[in-house]
Amino acid sequence: MSEGIIQPDRPEDIDGEGKDLFSKFDDMIALREGILATGVEDPFNLVMEKVLSPTRAICNGRDTILLGTYNYMGMTFDPDVVEAGRQALSDFGSGTTGSRVLNGTYQGHKEVEQALMDFYAMDHAMVFSTGYQANLGIISTIAGKGDYIVLDIDSHASIWDGCAMGNAEVVPFKHNDIEAMEKRLKRIPEGAGKLVVLEGVYSMLGDIAPLKEMVAVAKKYGAMVLVDEAHSMGFIGENGRGVVEQAGVIDDVDFIIGTFSKSVGTVGGFCVSNHPKFEIMRLVCRPYVFTASLPPSVVATAETSIRKLMRGSNKRAHLWENSKTLHKGLRELGFQLGTAEPQSAIIAVIMPDLEQGAAMWEALIKGGLYVNLARPPATPANMTLLRCSLCAEHSEEEVREILGIFEAAGKAVGII
């Protein structure tokens, strides 16, 4: 008998009444079945049969405007980006089949890291296979036993999972509340390591953090600061470096986390830093070491896209115009929005409940518009949201069309 494997003593143990480990999902299964039983299209099972451009696709057989992607800068069909990927696929093959610390660092990985250092004007850049893994890896590795992580309660799942994977004490504070954050920092024992984790743009409501004040408070208490700028890269701040740049605190933060899966238009994650010892992370950060590196075609598209985003000021200006027009139009139609003013490329439309949210989502998709239906636990305060994320490639005319579809759907469902 092999050690560590429990063998049944008697044959009847084999078909005993064991606990079904799926029973914990029963409430979720019932909720989902309840919604689908009303006959609505499944909002979490949409298939894009053909993608026509960054802003249009054939979804479930219909020509649809995309207003629920993170393709903020519309780079996915940029001819230079596509060509760079094609070339790398031919020159370097389809994948690396290995970790960055073994056989998985190709020329392209070094080049995309250099592009990130140039983009952020920082000394170090480390690329992960996703943004999720970047948060998981950096947070769990730098904050260890006896250290404290002070974080906004509305932080992204990858930040929470990074905290859960490490051994630090985790201290959340009320969303965007500077005083609450300070109170938590004040209570941490003298001499303990402290990491404050913030996001530039919070992706559910599209609101931004008061980073100028928050970073100053963090520094006052000697904390290191990590800011996740996943939703701001490429268009917030003079050079698209994010809310940290817009707030004038980029030199005061220790780590910026980002992703290639939004404005960059492909997949991958990263951390940039000026910390002199940062390179040791490549050997001690498990979600970097124990996984395969990104395919050569992906890093080539990312590098080309990042270098183009450095010259993207016209696109940025148009994206801001789109955001303002949509926000104003939706407010005038009578929808309740997540922010009083547009603060990013995300505009959240608050739904009364999940049933009406699903009905509204379906009315929009049938009208030719895709948005994200977001619900708890991803959303704050148990809200059901229709999350609209704009793209720099949406034309003025498309934004008007979007408002028309919202008006018709809102009236049909009885929300406005």
Q: Which residues bind ligand PMP (CB under 6 A)?
A: 130-132, 135, 156, 158, 199, 203, 228, 230, 259, 261, 269
Least Cβ distance, residue 173 to ligand PMP (angstroms): 17
Nearest alpha-carbon partner for 236 in 345, 154, 314, 123: 345
How do beta strands 224-228 and 194-199 pair? parallel
Judge whether 405 and 367 are in contact, CB under 8 Å.
yes
Q: Show the tokens assigned to 266.
A: 């492909």
Least Cβ distance, residue 228 to ligand PMP (angstroms): 5
Q: Show the tokens assigned to 94.
A: 């389809």
Least Cβ distance, residue 90 to ligand PMP (angstroms): 26
On the CB side of 183, how many CA atoms lie within 13 Å of its CA? 8
Least Cβ distance, residue 189 to ligand PMP (angstroms): 30
Q: Show the tokens assigned to 277.
A: 């010892």
- Decide whether 206 or 410 has the Cβ nearer to ligand PMP: 206
Least Cβ distance, residue 268 to ligand PMP (angstroms): 7
- Decide whether 35 or 391 has the Cβ nearer to ligand PMP: 391
Least Cβ distance, residue 321 to ligand PMP (angstroms): 24
Chain residue whose CB lies nearest ligand PMP? 131
- Decide whether 158 or 301 has the Cβ nearer to ligand PMP: 158
Q: Determine the straight-line distance between the first and last CA of the chain, rounded to whole angstroms.
A: 68
Alpha carbon separation from 385 to 301, 348, 353, 380, 382 (Å, rounded): 32, 6, 9, 10, 10
On the CB side of 274, how many CA atoms lie within 13 Å of its CA? 11
Q: Show the tokens assigned to 267.
A: 């997949």
Rounded Cα distance, 233 and 231, in Å: 6
Give the residue ranges of DSSP H helices in 46-156. Answer: 79-92, 107-120, 131-142
Least Cβ distance, residue 128 to ligand PMP (angstroms): 8
- Decide whether 55 or 259 has the Cβ nearer to ligand PMP: 259
Least Cβ distance, residue 61 to ligand PMP (angstroms): 27
| Core vs surface per residue 354-373: b (16+ CB within 10 A) or e | beebbbbbbbbbbbebbbbb
- Decide whether 127 or 218 has the Cβ nearer to ligand PMP: 127
- Decide whether 388 or 399 has the Cβ nearer to ligand PMP: 388
- Decide whether 188 or 371 has the Cβ nearer to ligand PMP: 371
- Decide whether 203 or 297 has the Cβ nearer to ligand PMP: 203
Judge whether 360 and 409 are in contact, CB under 8 Å.
yes
